[in-house]
Chains A and B, each alone.
Chain A
Amino acid sequence: MRRYSAFAIAREAARYHTGWERAWRSPAPKSDYEVIVIGAGGHGLATAYYLGKNHGITNVAILEKGWLGGGNTGRNTTIIRSNYLQDPSAAIYEKARSLYETLSQDLNYNVMFSPRGVLMLAQTQHEIRGYQRTAHANAIQGVKTEWIGPQKVKEICPIMNIHGPRYPVLGGLWQARGGTARHDAVAWGYARACSDMGMDIIQQCEVTGVEQKGGVVTGVQTTKGRIGTKKLAIVVAGHSGVLADMAGFRLPIESVALQALVSEPIKPCMDIVVMANTVHGYMSQSDKGEMVIGGGADGYNNYTQRGSFHHVEETVRALVETFPIISRLKMLRWWGGIVDMTGDRSPILSKTPLGNCFINCGWGTGGFKAIPGSGWGMAELVAKGEPGPLTAEFGLDRFTQGRFIDESVAAGVAH
């Protein structure tokens, strides 16, 4: 792989850009692999990357039914933060956030990580108590966050109306090193690095069956034929239930639509990410100037990758009180993704009833921020067959044991 650098740009400029190579190969599948990862979203690709980088396993195929990054990874609003309440969450999300800090250098690919700061608004007394509690928890966990008052809020986000009639801003939980990254670039950067290690990324290849013998997986049926494997990692987000059904087990997961939209581009007016959980909306401004807006998930099982108009209207209506400046903006694009929701709003990184099959899912509305940490932990689980410290608490057995990692209260809104 030729590395990207200022020198490479100069070299290519001098020869009319004829020397750029493809970022990843598109090979035909081999008959067998050591590990097959199903799903070339951020989590699947990161799993493969750290399998190679941390564990030396490179005989890996990543199978993708559409195009890589075309699932939720390419549809999300890219908020990155690690200010969670429970210790296991803080550990994996902070691992991810800290890996994001140096991911561009690590992958030699600009993922445009922008630690512009994430502010979660408190607009009720209940939220003040909740976020102050989270700030204390974060201090103990070593995650740097801070409780700030309404005046400080106004200072760091001048376009905000802190005296709204229904929900005045009473303060907020501020994580200065939270922010955003470019979603496609995260998928592309990992894909390029995986391909460079000799892994096969096979797009337009849908898994249609999981082949097993005596309680272990022996291969998968796909639209490109049968492919054998020694280990299987299922990392398919909204389609986890479908794959689990193929493999013969059930999951504590329901798939629902989550929507987002962007406005027409305007001049820079907001250089942080703001989340308003009481009114169910959040907003940031993209580098192109669009206001990126998201809200809560739709209320019923859905695989259509589109949501309902009234839901989007609710989100925007709620944000207009706090950000009057957006009231006359036109909507430019609007889309949906299918997210995999667990009851405790925490992910699953787990062994399964099949000995050599592992699953990574349940990231729901908030897994973009977790991609590097999740891949790191999942790779360890797949390589060793046992969870390491990052993933130990996120097994499926927590539902049998009633040992939840309850983040549903801490994050009232999709993110």
Chain B
Amino acid sequence: MLILECPYCGVKADETELHGGGEAHLKRYGPGSSDADFEGYLFHRKNPKGVHFERWRHVNGCGKWFHAARCTATLEVFGTYPAQVTAPPKALINKIKKKRPDWEGWT
């Protein structure tokens, strides 16, 4: 069972308490953008087999959205962090790099 720590309440919650929200840090495109950018924002996903940054919501807890870094091939969780950022924290990226030297990094 997948267990993530909510960065707001500090609760270690299992997946029955959480709701997945898909890929994190998408760059928003709206009116005025090209069709290709808008399509990419709406539909294209990295969907990697490996390190994935994603959104989660602590639905049956504090109700807030947060971020998690997780490996989709092993289900290993690297860490969680609050929602109010547009990129993963440096420290977390370094931590993942150390564990996965082959990882291409956050792009």
Contacts and interface: CB of A to CB of B under 8 A. Distances in A.
A302 B72 contact: yes
A241 B47 contact: yes
A63 B2 CA distance: 33
A301 B47 contact: yes
User: 6 closest pairs, A vs B, by CB?
Assistant: A252-B43, A241-B47, A300-B20, A250-B44, A299-B20, A303-B49
Contact of A343 (B16, B35, B43): B43
A304 B1 contact: no
14 contacts: A239-B49, A245-B46, A250-B45, A251-B44, A251-B45, A252-B45, A254-B22, A299-B19, A302-B72, A303-B72, A303-B73, A310-B15, A399-B39, A399-B42
Contact-residue size bin, chain A (C-beta under 8 Å from the other chain)? 20 to 34
B1 A309 contact: yes
A105 interface: no
Contact of A400 (B22, B23, B35, B45): B35
Contacts of A304: 72-75
B61 to A, nearest CB: 16
Contacts of A255: 47, 49, 72
Interface string B72-84: 1111000000000
Interface of B: prevailing SS: mixed
B54 A400 contact: no
B45 A254 contact: yes
Interface in A282-318: 299-304, 308-310
Contacts of B40: 250
A400 B49 CA distance: 25
Contacts of B45: 241, 250-254
Contact of A310 (B16, B49, B75): B16
Interface of A: 239, 241-242, 245, 250-255, 299-304, 308-310, 343, 399-400
A331 B99 CA distance: 38
A47 B13 CA distance: 45
A96 B75 CA distance: 36
B30 interface: no
A301 B45 CA distance: 11
Contacts of B20: 299-301
A174 to B, nearest CB: 35
Given A303-B72, A304-B74, A304-B75, A400 B46 contact: no
B44 to A, nearest CB: 4
Contacts of A254: 22-23, 45, 47
Contacts of A301: 20, 22-23, 47, 52, 54, 72
B2 A308 contact: yes
B103 to A, nearest CB: 14
Given A299-B20, A301-B72, 7 more contacts: A250-B40, A250-B44, A252-B44, A299-B19, A308-B2, A308-B15, A399-B42
Contact of B1 (A303, A308, A399): A308
A55 B78 CA distance: 50
B31 interface: no
